[in-house]
Structure 1
Amino acid sequence: MGSTLRLHVRSLARLPLALLVGACILAGLTLCWGAGDILRAVEAAGWGVGLIVIARYIQVLASGLAWRAVLDAAIAWWVCPILRWVREAINVLLPVAQVGGDIVGARLLSRRGVKASVATASVLADLLVQVATQLVFSLLGLFLFWSKSGDTRLVLWLAGGVGLLAIGVTGFLAVQRWGGIAWIEERIGGLMMRNGWTMPGGIAGLSGSLRHIHAAPGRLALAAAIHMAIWIFGASEVWIACWFMGHPVDFSAALVVESLSHAARAVFFVIPGGLGIQEGAIVALAATYGLSPQTAVAIGLLKRIPDIILGILGLAIWQSIELGWLRAGRA
């Protein structure tokens, strides 16, 4: 147990370094292509920034509905969208390697009367559906880029990144569907029993809760349809940014940029928020669609504005929930 804790602490200690690496990549791109030109491109977006924030808000709330689709529990429909907002805010703004928000989301859901193992299983199933549909979305973007671009080397690099994403999705599926969670549950249960500790509520019965979710393909299919619609709708952010900056592109180009930049962020998930990775991927893709590197970096920066605005609001909602429970406990 002690060695596991030390490994976890060391992993968290590396997160500031990963954040520094991402910040250096972003700073390098900005200095290389001219900070002044990039800032002018961002300013040119004007009211388009508000539309990008609204588009992201719709995506976050719809993601909550997809989570609610896999959750077989008696709970109000609006709970999962609000908690999904909190999950996204923590994952984007805090150095938690893209998983801390999901842990908090499961905990908050369990505090609303959902059994801890069911809440945890719903988060895991939701994440599986999300990354599986992201893989399909990335393959679609890769196909569209391959049909448009003559840069075989870049296509191969992008295919390699999508391949890594496919390996991750396959492994995640195997853990959930073919006994991986049950094996982990057994090992942790044995450790707890030997030391006289209480089994964590989110672990006890987790494999059974996951089996129950996976035994309802209709719920998973509905969640997958919602997530796929969200991925495609997300390309509107790139389309809006390009339109308002005076460099309009067709929606297929926006879809390629959105899908493959998200794939790059997923591969380099250890860097909080994909800082620098997103912008670098957009720069690599931009020339094919007649976009300058300055415009490409500006697109990446514009996509970070809703990260910040909605992220801060999401963290405020989280703290409001926690303070409400704290006051209720004191009372």
Structure 2
Amino acid sequence: MKRLLRWAMLPVGIVALIAFVLHQGVHDVAAAIDKAGWTLLWLVPFHALPLLLDAQGWRVLLGGRASLGFLWWVAAVREAVSRLLPVASIGGEVVGMRLARWRVRDATAVSASVIVEVLVTIGVQYAFSALGIVFALTSRRGAGIESIGLGLMLSLPLPVLAFALVRKGGWFQAIERFAARMFGASHPLTQGIGGAHLDAALDALMRRPCMLLSAFGWQLAGYMLGALEVYWALALLGAPVSAGEALAIEALTQAVRHAAFMVPAGLVVQEAAVLAFATLFGVPMDVAIALPLIKRMRETIFGCVALASWQVAEMTRRRRTRDASAIGANGR
């Protein structure tokens, strides 16, 4: 039933967005986008740059066991799965673990790096959101932003608790023992956990604060560079804002989107947040409506290319495996 509801939310969200745009006046929105022209398409390849910084943060946690280019591609697929497919945010991480194992054979190291990266990402999101709130308040356009800041402060103990629990260790061994009691020690699910090895790998990463800070810094730099998408798009649409205001719009939008992480692809949530925060910083209504559509356009094009490349890679890998098996059989 939950899966059915997630699938149902996808068309509902699209219909709601279309209805909203039509209500506000599709002519004005089209005129705003037409003013910028085809130059807006440069936002698609530009997204590769902040994603590259994010992949470098993951590479740090993996100890450089895979090339930056490969991890950048995996990060693009992870993001596309999480944002475009009707799955919870964890779906992208699961796919990322599987793809990373194409180059890093140590499944425990890959799993540990992704788990720690998720914790680092949560910390980065809080820091980035706090930075956006600061810029919003200093620009004197932060009316109503205090409530978002209060919400972040009240929810801060949760990620701190999660970090402390992972740092304490032993949780995956406990899960493994629980699974053994539930399904039996010989069950494939129980045998596939490897709790002791995963706890040891997590402990090794959590004991390296310099590595964690490096990953944090790379990810935060990626988030800040990603805010230039808003700055550039609004400049092209004829409603420029300062770099600080663009960062605030992006940071506050990310805060709202991640708070609603269970909504597939963040449909409507992202659009409503971008619209609200853009108008807060004095962006005209027609441009404020066009901005989330442009962001969704970039996200869709970039994500579809990533998903298509994933399918091509899967088919190529299967064909090579089949050919190798055929050669081995003929050799016997």
- Please indicate, yes or no, whether the TM-score normalized by the shorter chain is above 0.5: yes
Give the structure-2-normalised TM-score: 0.87
Alpha-carbon distance between aligned partners in 1 of 2:278 and 2:295, rounded to the nearest angstrom: 15
Alpha-carbon distance between aligned partners in 2 of 1:245 and 1:323, rounded to the nearest angstrom: 41
Specify the code of the residue in structure 1 equivalent to 2:108. Answer: S
Alpha-carbon distance between aligned partners in 1 of 2:251 and 2:43, rounded to the nearest angstrom: 16
- Greater relative CO, 1 or 2 (CA 8 Å, sep 6+): 1
Alpha-carbon distance between aligned partners in 2 of 1:105 and 1:218, rounded to the nearest angstrom: 24
Q: Does 1:325 align with 2:295?
A: no
Q: 2:160 is matched with which residue?
A: 170
Q: 1:3 is matched with which residue?
A: none
Task: Kindly indicate whether the alpha-carbon contact (under 8 Å) linking 2:36 and 2:236 is maintained by their aligned counterparts in 1.
Answer: yes
- Equivalences for residues 24-63 of structure 1 within 5 A: 24-63=15-54
Structure 1 range deviating more: 74-83 or 56-65: 74-83
- Equivalences for residues 98-137 of structure 1 within 5 A: 98-137=89-128
Give the structure-1-normalised TM-score: 0.88
Residue 201 of structure 1, CA deviation: 3.9
Alpha-carbon distance between aligned partners in 1 of 2:320 and 2:95, rounded to the nearest angstrom: 19
SS in 1 for 2:238: coil
- Equivalences for residues 1-331 of structure 1 within 5 A: 10-72=1-63, 74-149=65-140, 152=143, 154-163=144-153, 166=156, 168-179=158-169, 180-194=171-185, 196-197=187-188, 199=190, 201=192, 203-204=194-195, 205-331=197-323
Residue 297 of structure 1, CA deviation: 1.9
Specify the code of the residue in structure 1 equivalent to 2:145. Answer: V
Summarize the Cα distance change of 1:42–1:81 in structure 2 as closer, same or farther, 3 Å threshold.
same
Deviations 1:280-321 (A, max 9, x none): 112222233211232112111111222112111111221122
Residue 195 of structure 1, CA deviation: 5.6
Alpha-carbon distance between aligned partners in 2 of 1:235 and 1:165, rounded to the nearest angstrom: 24
Alpha-carbon distance between aligned partners in 1 of 2:62 and 2:193, rounded to the nearest angstrom: 15
Deviations 1:144-184 (A, max 9, x none): 223334664x2244235534763553354244223444433
Task: Kindly indicate whether the alpha-carbon contact (under 8 Å) linking 1:116 and 1:201 is maintained by their aligned counterparts in 2.
Answer: no
Residue 239 of structure 1, CA deviation: 0.6
Task: Kindly indicate whether the alpha-carbon contact (under 8 Å) linking 1:22 and 1:271 is maintained by their aligned counterparts in 2.
Answer: no
Alpha-carbon distance between aligned partners in 2 of 1:201 and 1:80, rounded to the nearest angstrom: 24
Task: Kindly indicate whether the alpha-carbon contact (under 8 Å) linking 2:104 and 2:110 is maintained by their aligned counterparts in 1.
Answer: no
Alpha-carbon distance between aligned partners in 2 of 1:17 and 1:170, rounded to the nearest angstrom: 34
Alpha-carbon distance between aligned partners in 1 of 2:45 and 2:189, rounded to the nearest angstrom: 44
Deviations 1:238-290 (A, max 9, x none): 11111011111110110110000011110111112211111211222223321
Summarize the Cα distance change of 1:252–1:94 in structure 2 as closer, same or farther, 3 Å threshold.
same
Specify the code of the residue in structure 2 equivalent to 1:169. Answer: P
Summarize the Cα distance change of 1:198–1:304 in structure 2 as closer, same or farther, 3 Å threshold.
closer
SS in 1 for 2:68: coil
Task: Kindly indicate whether the alpha-carbon contact (under 8 Å) linking 2:50 and 2:226 is maintained by their aligned counterparts in 1.
Answer: yes
Deviations 1:68-107 (A, max 9, x none): 1101363333221111111111112111112211101101
Task: Kindly indicate whether the alpha-carbon contact (under 8 Å) linking 1:149 and 1:288 is maintained by their aligned counterparts in 2.
Answer: no
Q: Give aligned-pair identity as a percent.
A: 30
Task: Kindly indicate whether the alpha-carbon contact (under 8 Å) linking 1:141 and 1:255 is maintained by their aligned counterparts in 2.
Answer: yes
Residue 64 of structure 1, CA deviation: 1.3
Task: Kindly indicate whether the alpha-carbon contact (under 8 Å) linking 2:61 and 2:117 is maintained by their aligned counterparts in 1.
Answer: yes
Deviations 1:109-152 (A, max 9, x none): 12334211211111111121122111101011112223334664
Alpha-carbon distance between aligned partners in 1 of 2:8 and 2:194, rounded to the nearest angstrom: 31
